[in-house]
Structure 1
Amino acid sequence: MSGLREGRWVCTYCGAECRGRDESCAGLDGGSGCGAARQPGVRFYLPGRNPYLTDPGLIADARSGADWHCDHCGGANKGAVGAHPVRACAHCGNPRDLSDQETPTRDFAPGSAPSSAEALRPARPDRRASPGSERTSALRPRRRIALICAALLAGLFLAWSVLFAAYPAPMAVTGLSWERTLTVEAYRTVQEEGWDAPSDARVHDRDRRVRSWREVLDRMETRTRQVSDRVQVGSESYGCGIRDLGNGYFQDITCTRPVYQTRMRTETYQEPIYRREPVYDTWLSWEVDRWVPARTERSAGTTPDRAWPEPDLAENERAGARTERLAVDLGSGEDRLQDRVVPDPVWTAAVRDRELIVTRDWWGRVRDVTVVGP
C-alpha cells in the first residue's frame, strides 16, 4: 500500500470541489469546473472515503514535490512532471524564479486532518448574540451555584444560631452549700527504685538488669529472588499522523516504536541477619525523705460562714494543698437546680441575696450561672 491519498480543494471563483491533482478548476469529474487557476492560500482537505492510490502515474505525481505559485498571475503549478521540474508557469508562461513560493506542507496528528471544505472555513461569530453574551451565559451556572451555596450557608448559620443560642433567665437562690478540703502532709522516709536516684537518696541495693535491646549484625546469608526486566525484543511501525504534501495529495506518516517484553530472571543477593542483644544497666533501690500526703481533713456547711479545717499537726506534719467546692440551689419545681457548682464571686453574690441568671441552650441544658448586674 502506497500510503498516499488524493485530497480536494475548493475553487475560490465558482465554489466547485476539485481534485487535488488539478492546478485549474475542473470539478470532481475533471471537466465541469470554471477553469480558473488555483490561487495562493487555497488549502487541501482529505475526505475520509478517498482510497489509497494504486495508479503508478498518480503515485508519481504525488511524489513530484510541492506545487508552486506564479508571482505574476498567482496560478498553481506542479513541482515536476515526470522527472522534469516545471520551469515556467503553465497559465501565463512566466519563468519560475526565487520569488515564486511553494505551497507549504503541513503535518496533522491522527484524525485531525481537515476532511471537508467546511472544516477549512473559519468559525463565524453568532451576530445575533450581543458582545459578552457568551461570557455571561458561561457565568450563569457559576452564579446559580454560588447562590445555592450562599443559601445553604445561610440556612446552616440560622440552624446553628437556633440550636446553640443562649437563653438566659433569672432564678432565685433557694439554698447554699460549701465544702473545704485540706491535705495534711507528713515528712517520712519512703522506699523507691529506678535507673536514676535523686541526689539526696540513700542507695541500699544495686542490681544489673536489662534496660533495652539492640539489633546486632550476626551474619550475611545468600538468597535468591525473582525479578522482572523490561527487554526490547524489536520494533513496530504505526501511523502517527498524516502529511499534506502541498500538491493536492496526502501521505500517511509512519513512526517506529520499540516493542518490549517482561522477562523474569533469578537474582542472588546477600541478606543481613541480625540478633538481639541485651543492654544492661544498674537498677537502684533507695530510701529518701519526702513530704507525702498523710490524711485529708474536711469541713462543710450550708451557711454563709466558711472555715478551713484546723487539724492537730504532729511534729513531722504540715498543711498541704487546699481545695474548695461552692454550690447553690436555684428555683423550685421542675426547673429547680440543685447543688450547682459555681465560682466564688457567684456564690458570694448568692449569699448577699442577689438574683442569679441561668443561661440554657435550645435543649434546656445549663451553660452558665452568672450574677444580675455589676
Structure 2
Amino acid sequence: MAKRYEMLWDCEYCGVKKLLGLTHRHCPSCGAPQNAEKRYFPPEDEKIAVEDHPFVGADRKCPHCASPSAAAAKCCGQCGAPLDGAAPVKTVSAVPAPAAAPVASVGRKRHPGLWAAAAVAAVALVGGLVATFWTKSAVLTVSGQDWKREIRVEKSAILDKDSWCDAMPGGAFEVSRSRKERSRNRVPDGESCSTRKKDLGDGSYSEEEVCTTKYREEPVYDQWCRYRVRGWVQTRTETSRGLGRSPEPFWPEPSLRTGDCLGCEREGSREEAYGAAFTGSDQALRCEFKEAAKWTPFTPGSRWKADIRVATGGIVCDSLQPAAG
C-alpha cells in the first residue's frame, strides 16, 4: 500500500513557510486560509507521515471564495457557501510548468556556414521541383525506332558458398562448420526502481516504489557452414538489336551446350528495351519502353503531342498522345 505524507505550503500573507497541508488548513500565525494550488512536496529529510487521516478524495475549490474544503464537506469551511458542483483543486502535477524565458539574441553565436548550407539546399530543392513540374506543350514527330533484346547464358559450375547450416542446400560437399552469432535474446536482468510521488489533492501525497524490469542482451550462436555446391553462374549475354520494325524484334538464339554436365549451359533471365526518337523541339528527344506493345505505335513520321520539361528539355514520356491532324 502506498504511504501518505503531508504536503507543504507557504502563507502568502505573513510569509510563514513549510506549513502542513493537512494539519494547517489555516496559517497558525495570521489565520489566512491555505492556498491549495501552492502546495509543494517536502524535501526527503522533512517528510511527515499521515496518521489516522483517511483519504476521502481531493479537496474542492469553493466557487465563491476559492478556499479549499474537504471532499466530504457540504459547505465551504471559510465562507459557508454550498459546494454543489465545486471542482477539485489543482494538484501539483496538474499545475502547468512556467513558460520558458525567451532566449536573448544578444551575443548569440552565429554560424554563417550553416545558413549558407541551408540556402544551397533550398535552392537545390526549388531547382528540382522546377525541373520536374515546369513543362510546356509541344508537337513532336517520330524520327526513328530502335530495339534490343538480351538473354543471359548460364553455365553449370562448382560454386563456393556459405550460409547457416540449416539453410545449406542438398548436394553440398567439402563442408566446414564454425560457431557464429545469429541473433540476440533480451533476458531479464533485475529491476530498476524509483519512488513516485502523487499529489492527492487533500493536502497529502502518496509515495510508492515503481519498478520496471531491466534487460540485457545475450548472443545466440548457431552453426555457420562453408561449402561447395553445384550451381549456375552467368557467363555471357546474347543480344539481338535493330532499327525500326523490319525485321520485327526477335529474341537471339544462343548456341548452348545442353545437358546435365559440369560446363553445360542454359538460358537465364531475359531483358528487352525499345526506344523512339523524336524531333520538333530544340534538341533531340527520346523515350524508352519496356514493352513492345507500348512502343509499336510510334512509327517514323507519326506526330505526337507531349509535355517538355522547360528546365532540362526532356520529354515527359507518359504524356505522349497522338496529335490531331
Give the TM interval when normalised to the shorter protein.
0.3 to 0.5
- Report the structure number with the largest CA radius of gyration: 1
